[in-house]
């Protein structure tokens, strides 16, 4: 990674409310989904899969659907798609619904500051 990219990441992290340590972000950026100091980073390549799975789990928890009988057919993928109208920030950022984006070494990340 170029020095200019590291400097850009450091400035980005300092600009966030939670100020995650840019060194920790660099260490974890091989992962598609990671958190540093209350700030969640999710790669653009994986965001939809993670979002869909997270929405399905949240729906099951909120509506007590863990014990749905086998004969009840629920189209979970469509249900998750219907829930996506509020956007990524509203789902992943419980603090203020905000979302940032940054490119780290060629990979786009969606960034959610939850503090």
Please state whether beta strands 107-113 and 39-43 pair in parallel, antiparallel, or not at all (unpaired): antiparallel
pLDDT value for 95: 85
Read off the pLDDT of residues 31-52 as tens digits, 9 standing for 90 and up: 999 999 999 999 999 999 999 9
Does the pLDDT of residue 66 top 90, yes or no? no
Q: Tokens for 84?
A: 């996506």
Cβ neighbours for 85, distance < 8 A, ≥ 6 positions apart: none
Task: Please count the CA atoms within 13 angstroms of the CA of 105 that sit on its side-chain side.
Answer: 11
Residue 77 · residue 49 · CB < 8 Å: no
Higher pLDDT: 38 or 72? It is: 38
Q: Identify the domain containing residue 77 by its residue range.
A: 3-113
pLDDT value for 105: 85
Nearest to 32 by CA among 19, 49, 17: 49
pLDDT value for 8: 95
Number of structural domains, the chain? Answer: 1
pLDDT value for 52: 93
Q: Tokens for 107?
A: 């990979």
């Amino acid at each position: 990674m170029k020095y200019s990219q590291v400097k850009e990441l450091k400035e980005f992290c300092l600009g966030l409310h939670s100020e995650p340590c840019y060194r920790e972000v660099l260490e974890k950026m091989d992962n598609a989904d990671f958190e540093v100091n209350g700030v969640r980073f999710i790669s653009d390549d994986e965001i939809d899969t993670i979002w869909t799975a997270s929405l399905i789990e949240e729906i099951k928890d909120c509506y007590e659907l863990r014990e749905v009988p086998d004969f009840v057919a629920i189209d979970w993928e469509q249900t998750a798609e219907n829930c996506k109208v509020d956007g990524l920030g509203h789902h992943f950022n419980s603090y203020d619904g905000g979302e940032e984006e940054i490119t780290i070494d060629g990979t786009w990340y969606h960034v959610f500051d939850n503090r």
